[in-house]
Chain A
Amino acid sequence: MGNTETPMLELVDVHKSFGDVDVLKGISASISKGELLTFVGPSGCGKTTLLRIIGGFTPITSGKIILDGEDIADLPPNMRDTKMVFQSYALFPHMNVRKNIGFGLKLKKMPQKKIDDRVDELLALVHLEGLGDRTIERISGGQQQRVALARSLALEPKVLLLDEPLSNLDANLRVVMRDEIRNIQERIRITTIFVTHDQYEAMSISDRLLVLNDGIIQQIGSPSDIYETPDNRFIAEFVGYVNFLEGKIESFDQDSSGLFLVSTEYGDISLNKINEKNFDKGDDVFLVIRPETVTLFPSDAEDMPNMLKGKIQHSMYAGNLVKYTIKCGDREILIDQYNPKDSIKFRCGDNIKFTVPRTVHAIPKRG
Chain B
Amino acid sequence: MAEAVAGNDQRSLLYKIRIFVNSHLINMFAGGLFALLAIFLAFPIVMVFIKSLWGDDGFTLGFYQEFFSYNFYYWSFLNTMILGLSAMVILVVVGFCFAYMTTKGPNWLRKPLKVCALMPLCAPPYIFSISLITLFGRNGMVTNFFDLNFNIYSWTGVIVAQCLAFLPLSYMMIENVLNSQNPSLEESASDMGASEFTIMRAITIPLAAPGVLKAALLVFVMTIAEFGNPAILGGRIPFLAPDTYLMITGEGDFNMASVLSVVLMVPCLIIFVIHNYMLKGKGYTTIVGKPTAVDPKDMTPLIKYSLLAIVIPVAIMVLLSFAVIVMGAFVKIVGVDNTFVIDHMLNMQSNTAIFNSVKLSLLAGLFGAIVGTLLAYVIMRGKFKGRKVMEMMALSGFALPGTVIGVGYIMAFNRPPFLLAGTIWILILNCAFRFLAVGVEAGISKLHQISIEIEEASADLGADFITIFFKVILPIMFSAFIAGFIYTFMTTMMSLSSVIFLVTPGFDLAAVYIYLTAQLGELGLASAATVKMMLIVVICFASLKLLAKKTGLDVIEK
Residues of chain A whose beta carbon lies under 8 Å from any beta carbon of chain B = 6, 10, 12, 55-57, 64, 66, 69-71, 74-80, 82-84, 86-94, 103-104, 107-108, 148, 151-152, 155
Contacts and interface: CB of A to CB of B under 8 A. Distances in A.
Contacts of A108: 462
B343 interface: no
B463 A90 contact: no
B458 A103 contact: yes
Contact of A92 (B19, B22, B472): B472
Task: Give me the 10 closest cross-chain CB pairs, A-B, nearest first.
Answer: A104-B461, A90-B457, A90-B453, A86-B453, A77-B459, A76-B22, A94-B475, A76-B23, A107-B462, A78-B459
Contacts of A107: 461-463, 467
Nearest to B478: A94
A64 B5 CA distance: 10
Contacts of B463: 78, 103, 107
B18 interface: yes
B459 to A, nearest CB: 4
A10 to B, nearest CB: 6
B45 to A, nearest CB: 35
Most chain B CB within 10 A, of A76, A82, A92, A107, is at: A76
Given A76-B22, A87-B453, A148-B457, 9 more contacts: A57-B459, A64-B5, A69-B6, A74-B23, A77-B460, A79-B19, A86-B451, A90-B453, A107-B467
Interface string B381-412: 00000000000000000000000000000000
Most chain B CB within 10 A, of A66, A70, A77, A107, is at: A77
A70 B19 contact: no
Given A90-B451, A94-B476, A84 B460 contact: yes
B14 interface: no
B4 interface: yes
State which size class the interface on B falls in. Answer: 20 to 34
B554 interface: no
Contacts of B1: 10, 12, 66
Q: Is the interface of B mostly helix, strand, loop or mixed?
A: helix
Contact of A86 (B457, B462, B464): B457
Contacts of B458: 92, 103
Contacts of A92: 454, 457-458, 472, 476
Nearest to B22: A76
Contacts of A104: 461-462
Nearest to A93: B476
B339 interface: no
Nearest to A104: B461
B451 to A, nearest CB: 5
A193 B19 CA distance: 25
Contacts of B459: 56-57, 76-78
Contacts of B253: none
18 contacts: A55-B456, A66-B5, A69-B4, A70-B6, A77-B459, A77-B460, A78-B463, A79-B18, A83-B461, A84-B456, A86-B451, A86-B456, A91-B454, A92-B457, A103-B458, A107-B463, A108-B462, A152-B461
B7 interface: yes
A91 B457 CA distance: 8
Interface in B1-48: 1, 4-8, 18-19, 22-23
A107 B476 CA distance: 19
B5 A69 contact: yes
Contacts of A66: 1, 5
